[in-house]
Amino acid sequence: MESDPSISRDDPDLYLVRQIRAGDQRAWSQLIARYQGRLLAFARARLGDGGDAEDVLQETLLGFISSLRHYDEERSLETYLFAILRYKIQEQLTRRKRAPQTAFGFDAADDAPPGALEPATRETPSSIAARHESARTASRVLAGVLRTLIEELRDRDKLDDLAVVELLFYVGLRNKDIAERLGRDEKAVAGVKFRAIGRLSALLERAAAEGRFDPKAHSIEDLANDDATIAQVWRRHRLSCLKRSTIGAHLLGALDEPWESYTRFHLETVGCLMCRANLDDLSGPEGEAARPRLQEELFASSVGFLSRTAAMESVDETSNAESRKSK
């Protein structure tokens, strides 16, 4: 597995995950060092500064290890970790018997990975897959076309329009509210919406023509207007989220327009909690001294689960190799 030539150190996350799957303790320690700051910042934003945030971070790392077999390497590691964290926070809030509060209320735990959600019930990925196959197809197709739509807007520096689309599809605001928030004309907002849905339909048609889904099973019109799935996919894949390096450049005042405005929009107007956690982590004077202590504690409390995971992985690996051979 380590000798797979397709694995490059250029993707540090993938490299780390593969090493961890093989039981590499140093890789596990590196992953903790890499993510603990932003995860802790996120947890503290929701739970306050008490010890709860650190507890939840620890549970998140354990949840990650125990669900590692189900982790899809094509999925962003950061997004996956945040999904587990959100679920653990939700659990914590339930324990406290207090309703969660979020800016737009879109921070529910409904996108936690199945492995992390139900570590005890052990529903198999294939049974979940079969049950949700149709919904999964819709999600996959929409994720692809939305990503293209967003890239096109970015490439053409149409970040003002991207902001409209984000409030429309992701946050779910009405034209009038979007116009108010962005200081734009309501007709202009309606125009952006019209073009975005048109483009989405065209991209869906292309995807159908390429055989990526069956338009008889999922009509293009239904897909293009499936607001709930679009919002869910957008959040799950963090389609418009900022790169950590972009947030860093924003902090240094090194971002050019229109990116600076868009970055502020995403952080402040949308109030994306995951990007804000990265911002807090990057900007906080917080805990340079405390971090190595925390990292050691997190590592010590979780490393015992690694060998177990690695053993299960090798069983999986054997059966995967068998099924690859038979293809």
Of 10-18, 65-73, 144-152, 271-279, the segment contacting Zn ion by CB under 5 A is 271-279
* CA gap 321, 9 in Å, rounded: 23
Residue 257 CB neighbour total at 10 angstroms: 9
Please report how close the Cβ of residue 42 comes to Zn ion at its closest, in angstroms. Answer: 11
Count the residues in the chain: 327
User: Quick one: 232 or 309, whose CB is closer to Zn ion?
Assistant: 232
User: Quick one: 38 or 218, whose CB is closer to Zn ion?
Assistant: 38
Please report how close the Cβ of residue 266 comes to Zn ion at its closest, in angstroms. Answer: 6
Of 200-208, 226-234, 248-256, 272-280, the segment contacting Zn ion by CB under 5 A is 272-280
Of 13, 85, 7, nearest to 244 (Cα)? 13
Of 14-22, 46-54, 97-105, 241-249, the segment contacting Zn ion by CB under 5 A is 241-249
Please report how close the Cβ of residue 75 comes to Zn ion at its closest, in angstroms. Answer: 16
Please report how close the Cβ of residue 240 comes to Zn ion at its closest, in angstroms. Answer: 7
Q: Does residue 275 interact with Zn ion by CB under 5 A?
A: yes
User: Quick one: 40 or 239, whose CB is closer to Zn ion?
Assistant: 239
Instruction: List Cα–Cα distances, 78 to 50, 86, 97, 120, 262, in angstroms.
Output: 24, 12, 28, 24, 21
Q: Does residue 273 interact with Zn ion by CB under 5 A?
A: no
User: CA-CA-CA-CA torsion for 51, 52, 54, 59, nearest 10 degrees?
Assistant: 140
Contact with Zn ion (CB under 5 A): which of 196, 207, 223, 272? 272
Please report how close the Cβ of residue 223 comes to Zn ion at its closest, in angstroms. Answer: 24
Q: Give per-residue burial for 93-128: e unless 16+ CB within 10 Å, then b.
A: beeeeeebeeeeebbebebbbbbbbeeeeeeeeeeb
Contact with Zn ion (CB under 5 A): which of 109, 241, 277, 294? 241
Per-residue contact flags (x/-) with Zn ion for residues 278 to 297, judged by CB under 5 A: --------------------
User: CA-CA-CA-CA torsion for 213, 219, 224, 230, nearest 10 degrees?
Assistant: -60
Please report how close the Cβ of residue 273 comes to Zn ion at its closest, in angstroms. Answer: 8
Please report how close the Cβ of residue 238 comes to Zn ion at its closest, in angstroms. Answer: 6
Please report how close the Cβ of residue 69 comes to Zn ion at its closest, in angstroms. Answer: 28
Of 49-57, 138-146, 223-231, 265-273, the segment contacting Zn ion by CB under 5 A is 265-273
CB 114 within 8 A of CB 128: yes
Q: How many residues bind Zn ion (CB under 5 A)?
A: 3
Of 151-159, 204-212, 269-277, 297-305, the segment contacting Zn ion by CB under 5 A is 269-277
Interacting residues with Zn ion (CB under 5 A): 241, 272, 275
